[in-house]
Amino acid sequence: MKTLVITGGSKGIGLATARLFAAEGYRVVNISRSPIALAGAVQLGIDIAEPDWAARHGEAVRAAVAGSERIALVHNAGLLTKDSVANVDAAALHRVLQVNVVACVQLDQLLLPLMGAGSAIVYVGSTLGEKAVAGSCAYVVSKHALIGLMRATCQDLAGRGIHTACVCPGFTDTEMLRAHVGQASEVLEALAGNVTFGRLIEPEEVARTIHFCALNAVINGAVIHANLGQFER
């Protein structure tokens, strides 16, 4: 049996990814606070922003993947806040790092003992994992750290037959992006203007990239930019 374990699979890129893997015959296990609209998926209502979530829900997570021959683990959940280095407070930074980085490590540690050869760990990063914009300090820090975590994963799992990659989407038309810009159409149009294709990315496009990474061990340790080509300014 093949199993997809995904965080934040109820919306946007996560939901598109879950649907794609389900169509390919994977059992889908979603970890998020809100339920996933996908028939047959296993829903684990867990808030990974809580630092002790793994201790409290670890057995349920492991039970959900029982019998899996291969596991595709996709770290998709993310928290995007508006802040700057001048005003972000420690508690807010801790929360973003918990969701975007620490929870990934916690879930890796829960599932690695159950992951056989041919399994994969895909981290969903951002173009802000290798550059920055103003007003998103905590998010930028966390996504830079996520690329480091992926590279550490590659080195630490050498010989296990488990590969890893970090897919870094650009401006994707998701609920999170729209909420971040306050649903402002002029801002969304400006973001699309920063892309050589002149449009936002569809979640399904990123899902196909994640799927490709999960199935192809040759890209182990790779950072994959899925951004339609952003203008360099």
Question: What CA–CA distance (Å, rounded) separates 6 from 48?
Answer: 12
What is the rounded average pLDDT of the residues 133-141?
95
| 181 assigned to some structural domain | no
Q: Is 26 known to be catalytic?
A: no
| 192 assigned to some structural domain | no
Q: Around Cβ 66, how many Cβ atoms within 10 Å?
A: 9
**Cβ neighbourhood burial of 56 (10 Å; 0-12, 13-18, 19+):** exposed
Q: Who contacts 149 (Cβ-Cβ below 8 Å, separation ≥6)?
A: 101, 104, 105, 123
Residue 65 CA to its chain's centroid (Å): 19
Question: What CA–CA distance (Å, rounded) separates 211 from 189?
Answer: 28
pLDDT (tens digit per residue) in 186-222: 777 877 788 899 888 899 999 999 999 999 999 999 9
In the predicted structure, residue 99 carries a pLDDT above the cut 90:
yes
| 47 assigned to some structural domain | yes
| 167 assigned to some structural domain | yes
- pLDDT the model gives residue 184: 67
**Encoded amino acid at 104, one letter:** C
| 75 assigned to some structural domain | yes
In the predicted structure, residue 171 carries a pLDDT above the cut 90:
no
Catalytic residue among 139, 150, 169, 226: 139
Give the tokens for residue 87. 């005003």
pTM: 0.95
**Encoded amino acid at 82, one letter:** K
pLDDT band at 153 (very low <50, low <70, confident <90, very high): very high
What is the rounded average pLDDT of the residues 58-76?
97
Q: Around Cβ 85, how many Cβ atoms within 10 Å?
A: 11
In the predicted structure, residue 232 carries a pLDDT above the cut 80:
no
| 15 assigned to some structural domain | yes
Q: How many structural domains is the chain composed of? A: 1
Q: How far apart are the first and last CA of the chain?
A: 47
DSSP assignment of 60-122 equals: HHHHHTTT-SEEEEEE-------B-TTT--HHHHHHHHIIIIIHHHHHHHHHGGG--TT-EEE
- pLDDT the model gives residue 203: 94
Q: Range with the lowest mean pLDDT among 12-21, 57-66, 126-135? A: 126-135
Share of the chain above pLDDT 70, in %: 97
pLDDT band at 67 (very low <50, low <70, confident <90, very high): very high
Residue 20 CA to its chain's centroid (Å): 15
What is the rounded average pLDDT of the residues 97-114?
98
Domain extent at residue 31: 2-171+202-226
Strand-pairing partners, residue 195, are 230
- Looking at per-residue pLDDT, the higher value among 178 and 27 belongs to 27
| 180 assigned to some structural domain | no
- Looking at per-residue pLDDT, the higher value among 130 and 184 belongs to 130
Question: What CA–CA distance (Å, rounded) separates 35 from 10?
Answer: 6
- Where is 59: in which H helix or E strand? helix 53-64
pLDDT band at 179 (very low <50, low <70, confident <90, very high): confident
| 197 assigned to some structural domain | no
199 φψ region: left (φ > 0), alpha (ψ -120 to 50), beta (else) = beta
Domain with residue 148: its CATH number is 3.40.50.720
- Looking at per-residue pLDDT, the higher value among 120 and 174 belongs to 120
Mean pLDDT, the chain, integer: 94
